[in-house]
Amino acid sequence: MSSPAEWYHSLPPISKAYGTACVFATAAYHLGLYRLPHIALIYEYVFYRFQVWRLVTNFFFLGPFSINFGIRLLMIARYGVQLEKGPFERRTADFLWMMIFGALVLLALSAIPFLWDPFLAVSLVFMLVYVWSREFPNAQINIYGLVQLKAFYLPWAMLALDVIFGSPLTADLLGIIAGHLYYFLTVLHPLASGKYILKTPAWVDKLVARRRIGAPVARPMSRGQPVSNTPQDSSSGVAFRGRSYRLGG
């Protein structure tokens, strides 16, 4: 069994960096190094006081140290890591672009008054969960040891739990919208039309290459294509397991 240090160093770069940043942000908050209003997404301060850092800092606060914080961090460690080691293996720039694109979509959605959220980190994590559920739709998920369901339904099951426990739904809904938009533009639309609308910008590729982050770019040739000889989903009769990626085992 590997040590915690070995496990940490084995994590892929983007998920590791984002999870670590979230831990440091919460630790700094508890140490009194900043106040939450100073990093919250408040558009009036962004546009009229030019406090543009708020467009970034709000994505790193998952809440104070608590059970909920731990659950969200585990989501990064599981779903983000599995994405980065699976469908996005050797495609660090693509994974980073997915995170950036998701953040931009969330910022745009949060500009709508009734969808505004001062901290969008939870929504960004939920976007990872949604994309993971589409990439591994037939994986079996056990929720609290009570219910077993296919991964495809995981975001909706978590949304239902929030309804049951009376938790706010805005963060989850924003994450679902951002995740579905990304998946539609990079997988579903190319699969249907053969045209790629959303591509990783060259500057992201150059950033990853210059900083030597992760592995060299190795994009699949048939991204967005269904995998042949995969078991059929009995609920839909469609054999599809995400983008050109087959879940082993």
Check residue 241 and give its pLDDT. 44
Confidence at residue 24, expressed as pLDDT on a 0 to 100 scale:
98
Please give the pLDDT value at position 243: 52
Predicted confidence (pLDDT) per residue in 219-230, tens digit: 654 444 443 333
Mean pLDDT of 8-15: 94
The structure tokens listed for 114 are: 């009734």
> Could you tell me the two tokens for 194?
């053969």
Distance CA 241, CA 244 (A): 8
**In order of start, what are the domains of the chain with their CATH numbers?**
7-209 (1.20.1540.10)
The CA distance from 135 to 150, in Å, is 12
- What mean pLDDT do residues 42-69 have? 96
Q: Which helix (H) or strand (E) holds 20?
A: helix 13-30
Instruction: Give the whole-angstrom CA distance, residue 82 versus residue 70.
Output: 18
Contacts of 167 (CB under 8 A, 6+ apart): 161
User: What is the rounded average pLDDT of the residues 47-68?
Assistant: 96
Whether residue 7 is predicted with pLDDT greater than 50 in this model: the reply is yes
The answer to whether 91 touches 219, Cβ cutoff 8 Å, is yes
Task: Kindly report the average pLDDT of the chain as a whole number.
Answer: 87
Residue 218 has pLDDT above 70, yes or no: no
Q: What percent of the chain has pLDDT over 70?
A: 86
CA distance to 96, 213, 222, per residue, from 204 (Å):
8, 11, 21
User: pLDDT band at residue 216, thresholds of 50, 70 and 90?
Assistant: low
Q: What is the pLDDT of residue 239?
A: 36
CA distance 48 to 43: 8
